[in-house]
Amino acid sequence: MKALILAPVLLCACASPAPEFLGAPQTRIERDGMRFALFRKGDRVQVIRLDHADRATRQSLPDLMLRLIAEETGCQPRLSSLRGDTGEIRARLACPADQSAPRAASG
């Protein structure tokens, strides 16, 4: 019974990628007091917010998530491909010609 009670709590600490990112390495990131999980597969990326965000914090999250993508991948997210919200965002990447392979994942 105790295991059933603890299961939802333990699952809150997990980030499950969208099906198209299964098998992609996960990078854990902390910025501005928020934790995120980033998954990159080829020229696609997904960022998942892991913490609760109040209304005031949510206003700045899209810009923060776009900066995380650029910093962690070395590529710019294609704005025309953005999908999602302040909890999860997906995008295609525009990478420099010399960066065909993803950066190593950390975390």
Q: To the nearest whole percent, how much of the chain has pLDDT over 90? A: 72
Question: Domain for residue 57, yes or no?
Answer: yes
More confident call, 10 vs 47: 47
List, for residues 26-48, the tens digit of each pLDDT value: 999 999 899 999 999 999 999 99
Question: Domain for residue 13, yes or no?
Answer: no
Give yes or no for residue 7 having a pLDDT over 50.
no
| CA end-to-end span of the chain | 32
Residue 97: predicted pLDDT: 79
Average pLDDT over residues 55-71: 95
Residue 102 backbone dihedrals phi, psi, to 5 degrees:
-65, 150
- Rounded Cα gap, residues 6 and 69, in angstroms: 32
Tell me the β-bridge partners of 92: 44
Q: Is 74 exposed, middle or buried (0-12, 13-18, 19+ CB in 10 A)?
A: middle
- Rounded Cα gap, residues 64 and 6, in angstroms: 31
Number of domains in the chain: 1
**Domain range holding 51?**
20-94
Question: Domain for residue 83, yes or no?
Answer: yes
List, for residues 78-105, the tens digit of each pLDDT value: 999 999 999 999 999 999 876 555 554 5
